[in-house]
Amino acid sequence: MMIEILKSKLHCVTVTESNINYMGSITIDEDLMDAAGMISGEKVQIVDNNNGERFETYIIKGERGSGCICLNGAAARKVLVGDTVIIISYCLMDFEEAKKFKPTVVFPENNRVVK
């Protein structure tokens, strides 16, 4: 049996931009993507701590070191610049394997990876 479980998350990053005129997605600083083990094109869930919105989109790689968290297209209507969001990725895994799996959880400060 396969189950869907938490793979990784960026916990409490700040939305820095929104671009309603882009086709869709979320642009994420490449440093943050690397720290969370996320890749371009990956499906993610966005949870807005300010307004309770929850929605899915896919990742576009942003400029490394920029701290960029930009919601694009329709997703830009669900958040405001300055909102705090959680970016969550999931994976399918065998039930027994999932029992041993440890997700990656990143707690950035000012949208930067803390080392």
pLDDT(23) > 90: no
- CATH code where residue 42 lies: 2.40.40.20
Average per-residue pLDDT for the chain: 97
Q: 105 in a domain, yes or no?
A: no
Domain total in the chain? 1
For 52-63, the pLDDT digits (tens) are 999 999 999 999
Q: Is 22 assigned a catalytic role?
A: no
Q: Is 25 assigned a catalytic role?
A: yes
Percentage with pLDDT > 90 across the chain? 96
Domain that holds residue 84: 2-91
Instruction: Quickly state the pLDDT bin for 109 (edges 50, 70, 90).
Output: very high
**What's the first-to-final CA gap in the chain, in angstroms?**
37
CA distance to 18, 31, 58, 95, 110, per residue, from 83 (Å): 11, 20, 19, 35, 12
Q: Which of 25, 66, 89, 90 is catalytic?
A: 25
Q: 101 in a domain, yes or no?
A: no
Q: 106 in a domain, yes or no?
A: no
Residue 115, pLDDT score: 77
Q: Which of 8, 22, 40, 58 is catalytic?
A: 58
Q: 22 in a domain, yes or no?
A: yes
Residue 18, pLDDT score: 95
